Amino acid sequence: METDTITAISTPVGEGAIAIVRLSGPDAIRIANELFQGKDLEAVESHTIHYGKVMDPETNEIADEVMLSVMRAPKTFTREDIVEINCHGGMVAVNRVLDIILGKGARIAEPGEFTKRAFLNGRIDLSQAEAVMDLIRAKTDKAMSVALKQMDGRLSGLIQKYRQSLLETVAHVEVNIDYPEYDDVEEMSHEMMREKTKAVHAEIEELLSVAKQGKILREGLATAIIGRPNVGKSSLLNTLVQENKAIVTDIPGTTRDIIEEYVNVRGVPLRLVDTAGIRETEDIVEKIGVERSRQALMESDLVLFVLNYNDALTKEDLALFEVVRGLEFIVIINKTDLEQQLDLEQVKQLAGDHPVISTSLIQEEGIDELEAAIAGTFFSGDLDVGDMTYVSNVRHIQLLKQAKQALEDAMEALELGMPLDIVQIDVTRTWEFLGEIIGDTASDGLINQLFSQFCLGK
């Protein structure tokens, strides 16, 4: 267990109304008291805030005028003594306060170390710790809601329930193996083992059934905008983002590179990529952009394929239909304010079951229909996170898949009539995979690697 006192700036770098320097550890209050001119912090009650000044010990001058919060263990985020100093925002003031704290014996916290201490001290489990970073990085209200529910322990509670059920099953097997002479010990039959494993397997399958949606809420939907040059791709990006991020001209090949933007579409975060028009070109710069566009296309979760209502389908359009075949895509017929030259029946035939939306971006028509199609492609109906437990973390999803496979191995062994002490090996593996999600069976290396991805002051 860590015994030193750590400190870090917990607010973003730059100018602002306030900046917060946080301390956590056994000497947090003592260190703060030595530099604080105001009340005696050793004597104040826990969870109180106090006005005063931070003094520079070298010059005996005022370093900053602050509000200082004192929170005593164990009722704190880290379950250690915590002090938070609210300084004036700005690089000079906050760094000056931090330097004084370091001079008093604290050390700079490692990335995520405050949250890591909360985990190591039993305040939260590993899945809840990861939800802290998900909350910070949330790009929509629904993504934030999913993270808050995970922080509150909704996923942890389910995992603990599954593990307890499996543990009871293994314990029955162990008792029967170790003490076969006791007649009053309940005999664990193959049928009872089958019922237990099937029940947990069904629960895990239910979690995984919404894992794709949860991952989208957490990470965003990688969305490529493709089409021939000058069909309105950049206009679509600007319309969705509601800012003039991309250059819009009548000259084909204006977009030479990919442009990325995040946008919230009905609670679904999209990572929009406006690609260079995919076409044969001799322009060396545009050619690089086209290659990057092809790469972005293959890495996308969703493709917005833009066609021109004012042009008949070309060989390039038909080639793009071949490129997106097998991908999730929406066809957008743009420039419906112009004279029709496009064969709509042919487009619908080529699109198959994929949505076809008509728009006039210059007149802002068809945007609501497009947003509904995007949301409906990955979420049936309105997205409701109220009663759902979404698994959004890739690590959690992978471990759930491994746990599911181990249970399927156990069920297959039961069907083959294998001895229960052999079957329990796969059941125990499931228990361990689930334990990695909440940190009970996670290695020190994994824990250190996960927390290294956190912000410095979190």
- Spatial neighbors of 434 by CB under 8 A, at least 6 apart, are 159, 162, 163, 166, 399, 400, 403
Q: How far apart are CA 351 and CA 324, in angstroms?
A: 10
Is residue 385 one of the residues assigned to a domain?
no
Q: What is the pLDDT of residue 13?
A: 77
| 259-271 confidence digits (pLDDT tens) | 567 787 777 778 7
- Asked if residue 174 belongs to a domain, the reply is yes
Cβ contacts of residue 110 below 8 Å, gap of 6+?
6, 116, 451, 452, 456
300 and 398 belong to one structural domain: no
Q: Are 220 and 139 in contact (CB under 8 A)?
A: yes
pLDDT at 247 over 50: no
Residues 263 and 325 in one domain: yes
Of 100-109, 132-141, 277-286, 429-438, the poorest mean pLDDT is in 277-286
What is the distance between the alpha carbons of residues 250 and 230, in angstroms, rounded to a whole number? 6
For residues 83 and 16, membership in a common domain is answered with yes
Tell me the pLDDT tens digit for each residue of 156-186.
999 999 999 998 888 877 766 665 555 444 4
Judge whether residue 35 has pLDDT over 90.
yes
Which band of pLDDT confidence, cut at 50, 70 and 90, is reported for residue 417?
confident
* Cβ within 8 Å of residue 419, ≥6 positions away: none
Mean pLDDT of the chain: 82
345 and 238 housed in the same domain = yes
Domain boundary among 109, 141, 158: 109
Question: Is residue 220 a part of any domain in this protein?
Answer: no
Average pLDDT over residues 208-236: 80
Taking only the tens place, the pLDDT of each residue in 370-413 is: 888 888 877 664 455 555 567 878 889 999 999 999 999 999 99
User: Which residues lie below 8 Å from residue 175, measured CB to CB, with a gap of 6+?
Assistant: 185
Across the beta sheet with 329-334, what order do the strands follow?
Answer: 259-265, 268-274, 221-226, 302-308, 329-334, 356-358
Tokens at residue 230, please?
């000058």
Domain holding 57, by residue range, is: 6-109
Q: Give the span between the Cα atoms of 155 and 345, in whole angstroms.
A: 47
Other residues' Cβ atoms within 10 Å of the Cβ of residue 98: 19
Asked if the model's pLDDT at residue 288 lies above 60, the reply is no
Quick one: 162 and 197 in the same domain? yes
Classify residue 219: in a domain, yes or no.
Answer: no
Q: What angle do CA 210, 150, 2 make, to 5 degrees?
A: 140
> Do 396 and 365 share a domain, yes or no?
no
Length of the chain: 458
Domain membership of residue 383 (yes or no) is no
256 and 345 part of one domain: yes
What mean pLDDT comes out for the span 423-428? 90
Dihedral angle, C-alpha 364, 366, 368, 374, nearest 10 °: -120
pLDDT band at 286 (very low <50, low <70, confident <90, very high): very low
Quote the distance between the C-alpha of residue 92 and its chain's center. 33
Q: What is the count of structural domains for the chain? A: 3
Q: Grade residue 191 by pLDDT with cuts at 50, 70 and 90.
A: confident
Q: Where are the strands (E) in 235-275, listed by range?
A: 259-265, 268-274
pLDDT at 1 > cutoff 60: no
Q: What is the full DSSP assignment across 342-401?
A: S-HHHHHHHHTTS-EEE-BGGGTBSHHHHHHHHHHHHSSSS---SS------HHHHHHHH
**Residue range 64-110, pLDDT digits in tens:** 999 999 999 999 999 999 999 999 988 888 999 999 999 999 999 99
Instruction: Give residue 176's pLDDT.
Output: 66
| pLDDT, position 300 | 80
pLDDT score of 291: 60
- Domain C-terminal end among 109, 139, 160: 109
Task: Give Cα 344 distance to the centre of its chain.
Answer: 39
Is there a single domain that holds both residue 267 and residue 364?
A: yes
pLDDT beyond 70 at 296: no
What are the backbone dihedrals phi and psi of residue 12, each rounded to the nearest 5 degrees, phi first? -60, 150
- CATH for 69: 3.30.1360.120
Q: What is the CATH number of the domain that holds 249?
A: 3.40.50.300
pLDDT at residue 258 greater than cutoff 80: no
pLDDT at 243 over 60: no
pLDDT score of 259: 54
Q: What is the CATH number of the domain that holds 147?
A: 1.20.120.430
Q: What pLDDT score was predicted for residue 388?
A: 55
User: Considering 318, 349, 378, which residue would you say is the last residue of a domain?
Assistant: 378
Both 61 and 176 in a single domain?
no
pTM: 0.70
The whole-angstrom separation of Cα 435 and Cα 31 is 38
Task: Say if 221 falls within a structural domain.
Answer: no
Are 236 and 192 in a shared domain?
A: no
Please report the pLDDT score of residue 292 as a whole number.
Answer: 59
Residue 114 lies in a domain: no
Query: What pLDDT does residue 250 have?
Result: 41
pLDDT value at 196 more than 80: yes
Co-location of 290 and 397 in the same domain: no
- Tokens for 20, please give them: 């917060």
In the three-class reduction of DSSP (H, G, I as helix; E, B as strand; rest coil), residue 207 is classed as helix
Measured at the alpha carbon of residue 214, what is the angle toward residues 213 and 215, in degrees to the nearest 5?
A: 90
Residue-wise pLDDT for 306-332, tens only, equals 999 998 998 888 888 888 888 889 999
pLDDT band at 252 (very low <50, low <70, confident <90, very high): very low
Q: 203: phi > 0 → left, psi -120 to 50 → alpha, else beta; which?
A: alpha
Average pLDDT over residues 343-350: 92
Q: What are phi and psi of 342, to 5 degrees?
A: -85, 140
User: Do both 16 and 77 map to the same domain?
Assistant: yes
Residue 402 domain-assigned?
A: yes
Q: Convert the pLDDT of each residue in 100-152 to its tens digit.
A: 999 999 999 998 899 999 999 989 888 888 888 788 777 777 777 777 888 88
Q: Count the neighbouring beta carbons within 10 Å of the beta carbon of residue 115.
A: 24
Over residues 13-29, the pLDDT tens digits come to: 777 889 999 999 999 99
Please state, in angstroms and as integers, the Cα–Cα distance from residue 380 to each residue in 140, 167, 327, 331, 377, following that order: 18, 36, 18, 19, 7
